[in-house]
Amino acid sequence: MTNKPHRDTINVELAEIASQQDYPGDQYILSVHAPNIAYEAKPGSFVHVQCAPGLLMRRPISIMRTDPKTGMVDLLYKAVGEGTRQLAMRKQGEVLDIMGPIGKPFELHKQYKRPLLIGGGVGMPPMIFIAEAIKKQRAHYQPFMILGSEVPFPFSAQPSQFMIPGLPDDVTATMPLMEDWNIPCRLASLQGYPGVFDGYVTDLARKWLAALDKEQLAEVEIFSCGPHPMLQAVAALAEEFNLPCQVSLEEFMACAVGGCAGCVVEVQTEQGPAMKRVCVDGPVFDAQQVF
């Protein structure tokens, strides 16, 4: 038996596109019917997508939501290169060749009842996925989510019903889906959006953490995904408050199944430094091991 069971869940599916919605900032939410992936995926998993029939090199995209009952998988991505630009042109009813789910997922620990979820840019999807997992165990966890973006958010922000101690009174904007799930959430950006915190996600997180008492702080575990500099700042914040922290790394990938070793990062282990593949040894790592 393999000691890495997440490597045994990879499927190759011909997934029909159910819908593709475009948002400002070249952002897209793609919904596909991929029942095997929907059944096996966990928060932190990603898929490797053939963006167009003539484009053989696949692109890794984080999973935002799944519905195992209907077989639907939702992906949020940004069109930044030739592959994702071609993916953005694909239409409802077309079929995508998708591999997944791939990667080591996030792991919730029940001794930490206050998960802090921090997502930035296209690092938001894994945070939404883990929030949905938390929602199903809502009686146990008291999460708080912070999402950041320097382009318009891929949803219409609305004022939150939740009062969050330690945060400025004018920081009220939230993601409507989190409001529906009764999960407190706030948004951060440097672009001056109404109701959005004017600063970095880590600045807002620090205000929230500083407002907790010692017992509450001992119940916090951080989960994060986003650009590399943001994850470095999140790791530093976790160290500042002496908190456990899991991060999902974003990395360029070729095969995404551990064969090419093109996505290796240095990880500190008990045996010393080691090179680990983000695709199958991650993408989720302990923050202090990689930063």
Q: Which residue has the higher pLDDT, 259 or 16?
A: 16
Tell me the pLDDT tens digit for each residue of 42-55.
999 999 999 998 88
Q: Is the pLDDT of residue 163 over 70?
A: yes
Calculate the dihedral angle through the C-alpha atoms of 250, 255, 258, 260, rounding to the nearest 10 degrees. Answer: -110
At residue 5, the pLDDT reads 52
**Bridge partners for 69 per DSSP:** none
CATH 2.40.30.10 correct for 5-102: yes
Q: What percent of the chain has pLDDT over 70?
A: 96
Tokens representing 170 are 């004018």
Tell me the pLDDT tens digit for each residue of 104-124.
999 999 899 999 999 999 899
Tell me the pLDDT tens digit for each residue of 166-211.
999 999 999 999 999 999 999 999 999 999 999 999 999 999 999 9
Contact of 76 with 122, CB cutoff 8 Å? yes
Q: What percent of the chain has pLDDT over 90?
A: 77
CATH number listed for the domain at residues 114-250: 3.40.50.80
Q: Which residue has the higher pLDDT, 271 or 34?
A: 34
Q: Per-domain residue ranges for the chain?
A: 5-102, 114-250
Q: Residue range 11-40: average pLDDT?
A: 96
DSSP the chain: --S-GGGGG-EEEEEEEEEEEEETTTEEEEEEE-HHHHHH--TT-EEEEE-BTTB-S-EEEEEEEEETTTTEEEEEEE--SHHHHHHTT--TT-EEEEEEEESB-----TT--EEEEEEEGGGHHHHHHHHHHHHTTTTT---EEEEE-SS--SS--EE-S---TTS-TT--EE-HHHHHTT--EEEEESS--TTSEES-HHHHHHHHHHTS-HHHHTTEEEEEES-HHHHHHHHHHHHHTT--EEEE-----SSSSSSS-TTEEEEEETTEEEEEETTTT-BEEEHHHH-
Per-residue pLDDT band at 4 (split at 50, 70, 90) = low
Contact of 223 with 115, CB cutoff 8 Å? yes
Q: Which residue has the higher pLDDT, 183 or 281?
A: 183
Omega prior to 101 cis, within 30 of 0: yes
How many angstroms separate the CA atoms of 276 and 9, rounded?
A: 19
At residue 6, the pLDDT reads 53
How many angstroms separate the CA atoms of 128 and 70, rounded?
A: 19
How many angstroms separate the CA atoms of 281 and 222, rounded?
A: 20
- CA separation, residue 45 to residues 7, 42, 117, 240 (Å): 11, 6, 16, 28
DSSP 227-255: -HHHHHHHHHHHHHTT--EEEE-----SS
Tell me the pLDDT tens digit for each residue of 204-244.
999 999 999 999 999 999 999 999 999 999 999 999 999 99
